[in-house]
A and B are shown apart, each in its own frame.
Chain A
């Protein structure tokens, strides 16, 4: 049986990564009654994953000492203004708030190519998360591919845990990477990180202008074919860790009616969205990394607590980090060649097994959804949506509650025996 728990906060923060933790701490330290909810067992977001990182434990301590209420659950619906419903394990949270700070983070962009649905083909961050959850990677051969700064961080992490990395394939060109390293000059901390990664990965082969064109194997991936500046080479491997930078989680902001611009939640200088008393901080406003998320969280938390002057003292620092975010976007923009990776029979929507040849007959995401069920399985288009947007230039659709599959009893908001059915949103 699940029970319903009602709570009321001055400020509710959704998302317990760096942006959410900073926002909650600053708001609570200025006298607000603050709640923070995250769908992971521990705060820290995907970047810190729990509190083993010193930075994460520092923020967790500030949350404790300022009296922030920490909840675990997944927000799926807004039944009425200033109220959100979240599903936890055996509990339904009904959360009321005066002000809301959205810090919903980002996920990896995953692109379809022949063989990408084979077991052991994972997101780069996805495989790292598995290893952090106890998977022994020692002795396994892992091809790391895709785009973005995460690739090097993941490769270094896996290698440190005993994996063999035959090659790291970055789709960006050397000239873009060279311009990016110039952009790093304004950020000494990031140069130190980059040099450290380079030292750790000294023995690994790094190839720019490179991307996976196919994965193959019996029942799991056994080899990966890579295109390197037009040259084709095959690497035997146990895992392919492949992610194409990050895309923001904007489903909840969309549900609440926040304006989205170029894929990101539109905010003003004080991190206010276009919806009154709803703020947004971190990756949903632009993929900028942990420092950018922290400063945006600080500004959102202070503003929500009414400390406008203090909030504006962070503008200079945020401006600098936003410029860095824009250089990330430019450097790791997807090259058009990746458009032709899927074969006609390649599955694009993994939930509903919808193939590329069936999708390309349609003119819009909505038409494809209606005709093929693409994007209407349990992930609700979180994986195939960004891929279809890149492949077909389709604009995403509106979102409908519940924005995550929930137990039927949570939908009803009632206590009932645990029901096994998955309820997904957006059925037409």
Chain B
């Protein structure tokens, strides 16, 4: 298993330790996880998969809970619009 994972966050490449969650990768990259209905940037809130604020688009699929998914090599993560 790789000790580091290279992935993209909103198009920019970042490297994170393996075992990092997608929500944490977004926080490291300083990117919002999603944009709310009224256009506010939102980031993780509850940290335990209940609030759904950390949902992101992964490899083109929207609505993934960032706090529950581990980063993978080559993953393309985007702010959930």
Contacts and interface: CB of A to CB of B under 8 A. Distances in A.
Interface of A: 39-41, 46, 107-108, 110, 117, 119-123, 125-130, 133-136, 219-220, 347, 350-353, 377-379, 382-383, 405, 418, 420, 422
A39 B48 CA distance: 10
A378 B55 contact: yes
Given A126-B47, A352-B37, A133 B67 contact: yes
B38 A351 contact: no
Give the top 6 A-B pairs by smallest Cβ distance, nearest first: A129-B47, A119-B43, A126-B47, A378-B52, A134-B20, A133-B21
B38 A135 contact: no
A117 B36 contact: yes
A117 B37 CA distance: 13
B40 A117 contact: yes
Given A123-B46, A353-B37, A379 B23 contact: no
10 contacts: A108-B46, A126-B48, A127-B47, A134-B16, A134-B17, A350-B45, A351-B52, A378-B63, A405-B52, A422-B63
A125 B47 contact: yes
B50 interface: yes
B40 A133 contact: no
Contacts of B55: 378
Contacts of A350: 36, 42, 45, 51, 53
Nearest to A130: B47
A121 B19 CA distance: 24
Chain B residues touching A, majority SS: loop
A351 B55 CA distance: 11
B32 interface: yes
Contacts of B38: 347, 353
Given A133-B23, A134-B24, A422-B63, A379 B50 contact: yes
A420 B48 contact: no
Mostly, the A contact residues are loop
Interface in B22-81: 23-24, 27-28, 32, 36-38, 40-53, 55, 61-63, 67-68
Contact size range, B? 20 to 34
Contact of B21 (A134, A220, A383): A134
Q: Which of B19, B21, B46 has the most CB of A within 10 A?
A: B46
B45 A123 contact: yes
Contacts of A125: 46-48
Contact of B42 (A119, A134, A418, A422): A119
Contact of B41 (A136, A219, A377, A418): A219
Given A107-B46, A122-B47, A347-B38, 10 more contacts: A40-B49, A46-B48, A110-B46, A121-B45, A125-B46, A125-B48, A134-B24, A347-B36, A353-B37, A422-B63
A119 B48 contact: no
Contacts of A126: 44-48
A134 B19 contact: yes
Contacts of A134: 16-17, 19-21, 24
A130 B40 contact: no
Scoring A120, A122, A352, A422 by chain B CB atoms within 10 A of each residue's CB, the highest score goes to A122
B72 to A, nearest CB: 13
Contacts of B21: 130, 133-134
A420 B63 contact: yes
Contacts of B44: 122, 126, 130
